[in-house]
Amino acid sequence: MDQSWDNKIKALFNLENKVAVITGGAGALGEGVARGLANFGVKVAVTGRTLTTLEKTVRQVREAGGEAIAIAADMTDEEAVKVVADKVIATWGKVDYLINIAGIAVRHPAEAFDIGDFRKVMDINVTGTFIPCKVFGDVFIKQGFGKIVNTSSVRAFAGHPGGYAAYGTSKGAINLLTKQLATEWAKYNINVNAVAPTIFWTPLTQEVLEDEKLKKIFLDRIPMGRAAMVEDMVGSVVYLCSSAADFITGQIIYIDGGCTAG
């Protein structure tokens, strides 16, 4: 194989001057993915409900030498998401990647689950993923390219004790949404995939991991014997955004230490 082939392989992971929109950009996962992509030369726009928390992510990206902006918006509000798209395109002229991370987890026993809480989880996790996909999918169709990475969970793979009737259901919906959009939009050169992590050490999961009984239930199911770390997710997102994954669409990548292997 000649040098040109070697150079082509090296270029598969060149993300310089790409542009990413990251929902849930103020949380631990959103911040980690923003910083990770920025390290590869990606310009990142982080979005979420609260500007002050988003600005913390932006500062960290900029301090490391990256480019970033913050745009406050509710992902369940289609008009607000359209404004995000307009602002990003006005700033950088395009959008290459949409990374949907925004989401919440509310746990109750199914028989006692407050319907208001159930609807809230479904709205934020499912509608709040679909609307950005719809808005940026339209942008990508007009551009002729784009990649979407949604965030699912191992809770969508099988039932699990701990009160996950709403959260697991919402992530199962995201799995099928990912596959549906992948089949509809493949002809437009749009890749749609999802990452499905096991439990992470983040503020969102602190309550669970500080409960020794629940912690044991979770970790006993993970052959590698630990919770996931933010950096475990970053590598998968980078890969799915890269040209190395150009022929991959409609897939759910489990980041779970072997949890779903058995």
* Domain around 164: 14-254
Residue 189 included in any domain: yes
* The predicted structure's pLDDT at residue 262: 76
* The predicted structure's pLDDT at residue 202: 74
Residue 132 φ then ψ, to 5°: -60, -40
What CATH number is attached to the domain comprising 85?
A: 3.40.50.720
Residue 239 and residue 216: Cα distance in Å, rounded? 31
Q: Which two tokens stand for residue 53?
A: 């928390």
Q: Which residues contact 177 (CB under 8 A, 6 or more apart)?
A: 126, 129, 130, 133, 150
Nearest to 129 by CA among 47, 28, 248, 31: 47
Angle subtended by helix axes 51-63 and 28-39, to nearest 10:
30
Residue 197 and residue 138: Cα distance in Å, rounded? 28
Strand-strand pairing, 19-23 and 97-100: parallel
Residue 9 included in any domain: no
* The predicted structure's pLDDT at residue 1: 56
Residue 31 included in any domain: yes
Residue 39 included in any domain: yes
Per-residue pLDDT tens, the chain, 262 aa: give them. Answer: 567 888 888 899 999 999 999 999 999 999 999 999 999 999 999 999 999 999 999 999 999 999 999 999 999 999 999 999 999 999 999 999 999 999 998 989 999 999 999 999 999 999 999 999 999 999 999 999 999 999 999 887 888 777 889 999 999 999 999 999 999 999 999 999 999 998 887 776 777 778 888 788 778 888 898 888 899 999 999 999 999 999 999 999 999 899 888 7
Q: Which two tokens stand for residue 7?
A: 């150079």
Residue 260 included in any domain: no
Please provide the DSSP assignment of the chain as one string.
--HHHHHHHHHTT--TT-EEEEETTTSHHHHHHHHHHHHTT-EEEEEES-HHHHHHHHHHHHHTT--EEEEE--TT-HHHHHHHHHHHHHHHS---EEEE-------B-GGG--HHHHHHHHIIIIIHHHHHHHHHHHHHHHHT-EEEEEE--GGGTS--TTTBHHHHHHHHHHHHHHHHHHHHHGGGTEEEEEEEE--BSSTTTHHHHTSHHHHHHHHHT-TT-S-B-HHHHHHHHHHHHSGGGTT--S-EEEESTTTTT-
Q: How many domains does the chain have?
A: 1
* Residues labelled as active-site residues: 167
Residue 49 φ then ψ, to 5°: -80, -30
Residue 259 included in any domain: no
Residue 228 and residue 83: Cα distance in Å, rounded? 34
* The predicted structure's pLDDT at residue 216: 82
